[in-house]
Amino acid sequence: MKQICNPYSVTHNNNRQLETWNLELEIWNLELGTWNLKLGTFMTTNLKLAWRNLWRNKRRTLITLASIFFGVLLSAYMTSMQEGTYGQMIEMAVKFHSGYMQIHNEDYWGNKSINNSFDYSQTLVDQLKKHPEIDFVIPRLESFGLASAGELTRGSAIFGIVPEAETQLTGIANRIVSGKYLQSGDNGVVIGEGLATYLKMNLNDTLVIISQGYHGVSSAGKFPIQGIIRHISPQLNKSVIYMELKTCQNFLEAENKLTSLVVNVASNEVMKRTIKKLKSEIRSPYSVMSWSEMQPELVQLIQTKRAGGVIMKAILYMVIAFGIFGTIMMMIAERRREFGVMVSIGLQKTKLAMILFIETILIGFLGVLSGLAVSLPLILAQTRYCPPMK
């Protein structure tokens, strides 16, 4: 005989099971709330005891706080000085020479020959200027040559520039110490003060330059010195020669040729975003390079100095840590009788250890907080009121 299942009985059993689960869940929530309350009370009590214990011996606490305070102060100040110096190094490299980005012929950087130059393209310039992040684009023709005066000669870096555009980036018009800056159509040159001193030349003297032009053409010319510049880079100050772009192209037999387009933006962070877009847009035969790709030795120098700074701060923190550890050991030794009394009247050893741990955390927190409270305003004031490197 087939057994018939009662649907009402099954539903009734399921409801009872669900009620049982709900009741167990409520019991667990109640127990959890009780434990949270006990934990909160436990931590509040221990925090109060630890805070009071700290100031029972003010001299010991203040000495420990002072060691942490000065450690944080020195560490923060040293880090700010390091990063400020690195920022100035990058700014000097970018502002007075390379710019944040450059566009070259794809073969130029591996072989810096004028034969790896490219034709000036207004279409390319317009494509770059469509990006709102780009402040300006500067054309350049760079080469090397031999500067001569009488029996004296020196290897020199020759820059063919658009005067008005170039001074937007480098501000070289403001660094003229004698004579005048270049203008469009000028046939004269502006040379570095160190080069002028070495060649014993003054304004309006004639400088002889010998170089290799486009496709191996031998280039030689005489140029009047119409300005002397004090370049911020000591190396360039001893070797740089600036010509107006058209004059340089004619001298090197490189009509309408450029070795680079300098692309400048507001900051290094903007450059990191912009260069990704440019590299995806600009294809062969051009290549886009950032200042860090063009000057890897500067990047390596900064990374090395940062690593040295980390080691110095690690040593400083280790010294501070051992000082705090010695203070805590001394504190425990001085309070041994007190701890014995507390344990004898019923205080659990785990709770006593927790109180000591909280005391250590409080000392560290107060020392770090006070160090930051003093170091940050000091660093901000120095950033605001100390003059930048010029």
Confidence class for position 284, pLDDT limits 50, 70, 90: confident
Indicate the pLDDT class of residue 1, thresholds 50, 70 and 90.
very low
At 2 the pLDDT is: 46
Tell me the domain boundaries of the chain: 48-85+300-384, 107-283
Q: Are 140 and 262 in contact (CB under 8 A)?
A: yes
Whether 78 and 305 have beta carbons less than 8 Å apart is answered as no
Q: Which residues pair with 159 in a beta bridge?
A: 142, 242
Q: What CA–CA distance (Å, rounded) separates 49 from 301?
A: 51
pLDDT of residue 155: 94
- The pLDDT of 48-68, averaged and rounded, is 83
pLDDT for position 233? 86
Confidence at residue 35, expressed as pLDDT on a 0 to 100 scale:
53
Q: How confident is the model at residue 63 (pLDDT cuts 50, 70, 90)?
A: confident
Most confident option among 69-83, 195-209, 375-389: 195-209
Query: Is pLDDT at 25 greater than 80 in this prediction?
Result: no
- Split at pLDDT 50, 70, 90, the class of 387 is low
The answer to whether residue 202 scores a pLDDT higher than 90 is yes
Mean pLDDT of the chain: 86
Structural tokens at position 221: 């010319």
Checking if the pLDDT of 300 tops 60, the result is yes
pLDDT digits (tens, 9 = 90+) for 346-369: 878 888 888 888 888 888 899 899
Do 68 and 364 meet the contact criterion of CB atoms below 8 Å apart?
A: yes
Instruction: Check residues 105 and 91 and name the one with the higher pLDDT.
Output: 105
Average confidence (pLDDT) over 64-90: 87
Residue 316 has pLDDT above 90, yes or no: no
Q: Which residues of 210-242 are buried (b: 16+ CB within 10 A; e: fewer)?
A: ebbbbeeeebebebebbbbbebbeeebbbbbbb
Residue 36 has pLDDT above 60, yes or no: no
pLDDT tens digits for range 7-24: 545 455 556 666 676 666
Q: For 178-187, write each residue's pLDDT tens digit.
A: 999 999 999 9
Residues 6+ apart with CB under 8 A from 15: none
Q: Rounded mean pLDDT of 283-298?
A: 92
C-beta of residue 108 within 8 angstroms of C-beta of residue 117:
yes
pLDDT digits (tens, 9 = 90+) for 220-271: 999 999 999 999 888 899 999 999 999 999 999 999 999 999 999 988 889 9
Average pLDDT for residues 64-70, to the nearest whole number? 88
Task: List, as one string, the DSSP characters of 178-215.
Answer: EE----TT---EEEEHHHHHHHT--TTPEEEEEEE-GG
Q: Name the helix (H) or strand (E) containing 270.
A: helix 268-281
363 vs 36, residue with greater confidence:
363
Q: What Å distances lie between residue 75 and 68, 112, 307, CA to CA?
A: 10, 43, 14
**Does 318 score more than 80 pLDDT?**
yes
Buried b (16+ CB within 10 A) or exposed e, 271-285: beebbeebeeeeeee
Percent of the chain whose predicted confidence (pLDDT) is above 90: 49
Q: What is this structure's pTM?
A: 0.71
Is the pLDDT score of 132 beyond 50?
yes
Report the pLDDT value the prediction gives residue 108, as an integer from 0 to 100: 94
Q: What's the pLDDT score for residue 153?
A: 95
Q: Which of the two residues, 34 and 152, has the higher pLDDT score?
A: 152
